[in-house]
Amino acid sequence: MMKAAWFESKGAARDVMRVGQRPMPEPAEGEVRVRVHVSAVNPSDTKNRGGYRGNVQMPFPLVIPHQDGAGVIDKVGEGVDASRVGERVWVYEATLGRPFGTAAQYTTVPAHKAVKLPDGVDFDVGACMGIPAMTAHRCVFADGSVAGKTVLVQGGAGAVGYYAVQMAKLGGAARVIATVSRDDQAARAREAGADDVVNYKSEDLAARVKEITGAEPAVDRVIEVAFGANLRADVQMLRPNGVIATYASDAVHEPAIPFWPMLAKDLTVRFVLVYAMSAQAHAEAAGWITGALAAHRLHHQFHRSFTLDEIALAHEATEAMANVGKVLVVVD
């Protein structure tokens, strides 16, 4: 048996989350079992548990949540090299089409979803890599090199945006502009390497970008966390043949598309959902991220760590928009 957190119906975290003993999982063919040290909470984890947008049907009778985590491989299934036992790894998409994620002492995943964690990189860092870093990588690099380009990262202090700023700079972007709504977020965006930071609540974004760059339009690529809310401003700021890579649109679920202005500039909109990315995109992201970790080229931001017994509080902290940084669950 192992200690785990789970829910059997959807709803508020403190109403549905349970912590106790569950059977130890066994790796199937092509899988590894990971002794989880740190589990990360992502917004998709809390949305899935909470029944976001009316999705209240349980995909399985019982779900151990959390897609991302880090730990040590302790057992391998048939067809997996036995030398991987003892390997430190970061895990992604543990609950994609599966019921048992990383909010437990042990989890099993397909072997390729347990990526070797470079020496000297902590488990808390590894737990942050899955959804946020892989999404950021896809947004920044899916449409070609950003070398010499001007990149706008909307929400530059968010989980994805923070890594997108860094990746754009590491990819050779000439200028990275980040948007934020508070001073503490501005500090984080600058820490990530943003050349300029704009407070979208107190400043006119398009006017400020024109002032910063001395050009209109000035932006080659937008990494977008609020597609519907920011679309018209993005179109205004983008140069011809520019790209919007978007991974969220919570404020406006069904955006209206300004077709003619976008057509006139021959713009591309890339919708990025890490769970639907191709195997090649996943492999490219995992390889780039692991290389950057090994070279200690990435910064990371943490809000707070909780124990497994405090998982409901960890979910509530993730849902609190006032927080900056990753929420982690340390598995005892």
pLDDT per residue as tens digits for the range 74-99: 999 999 999 999 999 999 999 999 99
Q: 76 near 82, Cβ under 8 Å?
A: yes
89: which 2 tokens?
């790894």
| Averaged pLDDT of the chain | 97
Q: What SS3 class is residue 65?
A: coil
Local confidence band at 103 (pLDDT 50, 70, 90 cut-offs): very high
CA–CA separation, 251 and 254 (whole Å): 9
Residue type, 9: S
Local confidence band at 53 (pLDDT 50, 70, 90 cut-offs): confident
pLDDT per residue as tens digits for the range 193-203: 999 999 999 99
Q: Report how far Cα 26 is from the mean position of its chain's Cα atoms.
A: 28
Residue in 298, 7, 261 with CA at minimum distance from that of residue 136: 298
